[in-house]
């Protein structure tokens, strides 16, 4: 019997055979080890196949801890569906990271992406959030600055520390070496897999003229744009949490990450440096020109999520109350001290609120010595449970000239209003919050940093300057005011805020 092979299929087979030869030197996947992998069913991505080494990492106390840290922090107190955790998000990012790097590996064998690269990228995606504290971003953006104002601690760096701790504590060095991952690569001393994984997690800016990566040489700079993209903020971390958060929040989205993944391609792009006229190029991930609207939808999805959910007025006030409770209990539970000890940090999850709510269960002695602070913290938690929250009065969108002194101006306005109206509103009965919302790159248009290619010239990258339907501003700062004083004064408080807002937001006289 004669087997007829389609000429197009024959060409594909030849490419795959050549591609296989390129990878065989670095191949570390053996049939005996592959059976240790797992398939999990994810509500967002469907069935996800996990490499055996990823399974080993997942099955550790350090990673399992992420089951007890809510993805949206206090968002779950407002949106009942937002019950998802950092655990499933991390698995989703590992999956998408693998999809993107394997897609590039298959479509562009000239990039010489080996299986060590693939596995490092997947591990970085899996472990990028290991360093998150209780209630996710609340911990490093609100709690730590409140108790350690001079600290530069961020969860990204903590993720690297926790990853190294996880590997050592669970004896995974041999497992990693079994798959070819090492600190020193004999045939390429300029590569370091452990360093590379850490850099992928924290991010390396591939738009800088001088190459700063230590784990991989400059010819593989594009790999640093997969998990944490410092060039233009398009990365698989966002692809997962946009899709996952919209799914659990019940917010619709038009951004299609699966389509974007299909049209991703690595091209040479120009490295711009105002102080240097010499031309320099570097390999970077680009997208088909027709995907411009899809990419803008991605950035707009980020804005929408912040506006409707992450920075929701009730979420913000609950976050402030949780932060206050954590600060009051910090001295007795040594919460902030845990960031210096990954063993102790492993025990720190959202469950810290239960310890504050019922301190008598395990902390009778502490309760006797520090009853007042813990009772105050416990009362804050009880108010959240009973939805006894400060009342939202309103918000004002600020101009740059108003930002630095808005809180002082508001406090002064309350005093002046009291004198004028002969009232006795107390400044401490108001809670102020300043909210930042952008499209991912502060006040810059993120589309200005995205390179595209055309179907008929896939190796030539360019920036688009014909973008349409863009917002006037890409960044806004909101000043929100809540009232937690006596109920009978709420109407006066509302009137005070409304009058202040009308006066404060009057356009500035151009002659002033």
CA distance linking residue 276 with residue 470, whole number of Å: 31
- Residues 256 and 239 sit within 8 Å (Cβ to Cβ): no
CA distance linking residue 510 with residue 503, whole number of Å: 16
Tokens of 288: 């088909």
CA distance linking residue 394 with residue 494, whole number of Å: 8
Which of these, 350, 437, 378, lies nearest to 72 by C-alpha position?
Answer: 350
CA distance linking residue 90 with residue 240, whole number of Å: 9
- Residues 92 and 211 sit within 8 Å (Cβ to Cβ): no
Q: How distant is the alpha carbon of residue 246 from its chain centre? A: 15
- Residues 50 and 58 sit within 8 Å (Cβ to Cβ): yes
Give the 3-state secondary structure of residue 85: strand
CA distance linking residue 174 with residue 5, whole number of Å: 44
Q: Tell me the HSE value of 201 on the side-chain side, using a 13 A CA sphere.
A: 31
Is position 155 annotated as part of the catalytic site?
yes
Phi-psi region of 394 (alpha: psi -120 to 50; beta: other; left: phi over 0): left
- Residues 435 and 480 sit within 8 Å (Cβ to Cβ): yes
Which of these, 381, 105, 91, 316, lies nearest to 223 by C-alpha position?
Answer: 105
Burial-class residue 321 by CB neighbours within 10 Å (0-12, 13-18, 19+). buried
The dihedrals phi and psi of 191, each to the nearest 5 degrees, come to: -110, 145
Q: Which one of the listed residues 51, 89, 132, 155 is annotated catalytic?
A: 155
Tokens of 190: 């300029």
Q: Which residues are catalytic?
A: 155
């Amino acid at each position: 019997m004669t087997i007829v092979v389609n000429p197009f299929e024959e060409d594909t087979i030849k490419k795959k055979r050549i591609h296989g030869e390129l990878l065989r030197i670095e191949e570390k996947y053996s049939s005996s080890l592959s059976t240790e992998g797992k398939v999990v069913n994810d509500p967002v991505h469907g069935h996800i196949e996990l490499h055996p080494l990823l399974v080993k990492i997942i099955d550790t106390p350090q990673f399992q801890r992420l089951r007890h840290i809510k993805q949206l922090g206090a968002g779950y107190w407002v949106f009942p569906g937002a019950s998802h955790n950092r655990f499933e998000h991390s698995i989703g990012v590992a999956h998408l990271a693998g999809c993107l790097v394997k897609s590039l590996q298959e479509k562009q064998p000239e990039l010489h992406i080996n299986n060590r690269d693939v596995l490092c990228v997947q591990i970085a995606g899996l472990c990028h959030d290991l360093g998150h504290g209780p209630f996710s971003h609340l911990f490093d953006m609100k709690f730590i600055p409140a108790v350690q104002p001079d600290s530069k601690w961020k969860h990204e760096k903590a993720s690297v520390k926790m990853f190294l701790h996880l590997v050592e504590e669970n004896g995974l060095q041999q497992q990693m070496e079994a798959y070819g991952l090492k600190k020193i690569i004999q045939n390429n001393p300029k590569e370091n897999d452990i360093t590379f994984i850490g850099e992928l997690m924290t991010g390396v800016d591939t738009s800088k003229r001088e190459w700063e990566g230590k784990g991989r040489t400059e010819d593989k700079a594009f790999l640093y744009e997969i998990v944490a993209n410092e060039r233009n903020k398009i990365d698989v971390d966002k692809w997962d949490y946009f899709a996952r958060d919209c799914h659990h929040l019940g917010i619709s989205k038009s951004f299609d990450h699966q389509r974007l993944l299909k049209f991703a391609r690595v091209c040479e792009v120009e490295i711009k440096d105002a102080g240097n006229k010499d031309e320099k190029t570097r390999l970077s991930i680009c997208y088909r020109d027709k995907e411009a609207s899809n990419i803008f939808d991605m950035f707009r999805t980020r804005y929408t999520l912040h506006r409707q959910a992450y920075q929701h007025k009730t979420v913000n006030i609950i976050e402030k109350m949780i932060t206050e409770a954590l600060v009051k209990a910090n001295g007795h539970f040594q919460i902030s001290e845990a960031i210096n000890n990954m063993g102790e940090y492993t025990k720190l999850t959202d469950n810290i609120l239960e310890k504050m709510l019922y301190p008598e269960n395990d902390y009778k002695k502490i309760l006797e010595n520090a009853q007042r602070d813990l009772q105050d913290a416990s009362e804050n938690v009880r108010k959240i449970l009973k939805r006894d929250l400060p009342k939202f009065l309103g918000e004002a969108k600020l101009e740059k000239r108003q930002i630095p002194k808005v809180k002082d101006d508001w406090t002064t306005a309350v005093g002046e209003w009291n004198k004028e109206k002969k009232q006795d509103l107390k400044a401490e009965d108001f809670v102020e919050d300043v909210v930042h919302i952008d499209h991912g790159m502060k006040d810059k248009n993120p589309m200005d940093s995205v390179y595209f290619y055309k179907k008929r010239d896939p190796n030539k990258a360019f920036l688009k300057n014909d973008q349409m339907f863009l917002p006037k501003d890409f960044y806004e700062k909101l000043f929100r005011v809540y009232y937690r004083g006596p109920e009978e004064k709420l109407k006066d408080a509302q009137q005070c805020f409304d009058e202040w807002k009308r006066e404060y937001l009057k356009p500035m006289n151009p002659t002033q």
